[in-house]
Amino acid sequence: MSFDLLGVGRWVSAPRPGRRKGGFPPGGPWDEESFALVCALTGATEAFELDTGRLTFREAGTWAIVGAGMGELRPVGPSEIIEAKRRVYVAWARGLAGSEARATGVAHPPERENVLRILPGPQAELLGHLLDREFTVDRLSDRTGLRFSGTEPHGMEIPSEPATFGIKLGTFRFLTLIFSNW
């Protein structure tokens, strides 16, 4: 199983409930119905959740792509590009990873370097302040975030607590900064 991705996505599996008391959310796919359908069609236990972007398949196989805007049934061959404008789930009939993985086909070397792009959030102006000063991790830090002690960022209005945003359980929020002990 091999495909190239130009877009935003991640590997997902079914939610794993029962570990919240240890601080672990159940995780799982955003669209549980589409995920369940793609797994039922292929027999896979994992799928690739593609938020938006393009997939190019490198080899033939039995693929299922389920989600918004994917309303047709048709064969997909190698080098064919699939455009996803909304969240879709991609699974392969022979499984995707873990104990079901098998070496198949020819290994393909990467054609270019991978690039990580970070999109600025509501408090992005604080990132520059974080990178050009020294801070100490405050004793009030915990597993959900770090509090920093250091110099005050002049001229910036920073709330005493982080802004809250509606997110799905299991989502990782990259940048919320709290500065204390000024």
- Cα-to-chain-centroid distance, residue 50: 9
User: Which residue ranges make up each domain of the chain?
Assistant: 3-100, 118-182
H or E, element range at 137: strand 135-137
More confident of the two residues 169 and 135: 135
User: DSSP per residue over 16-83, as a string?
Assistant: --S-GGGT------SSHHHHHHHHHHH--SEEEEEEEEEEEESS---EEEEETT--------TT-EEE
The answer on pLDDT for 181 being more than 60 is no
pLDDT digits (tens, 9 = 90+) for 99-114: 444 444 444 555 656 5
Does residue 182 carry a pLDDT above 60?
no
Residue 77 above 60 pLDDT? yes
> Could you tell me which residue, 152 or 149, shows the higher pLDDT?
149
Q: What is the mean pLDDT of the chain?
A: 70
Q: What is the pLDDT of residues 82-101, one digit of tens each?
A: 888 788 888 888 644 444 44
Quick check: 53 and 9 in contact, CB under 8 A?
yes
Does the pTM surpass 0.95? The reply is no
Confidence of residue 165 (pLDDT cuts 50, 70, 90): low
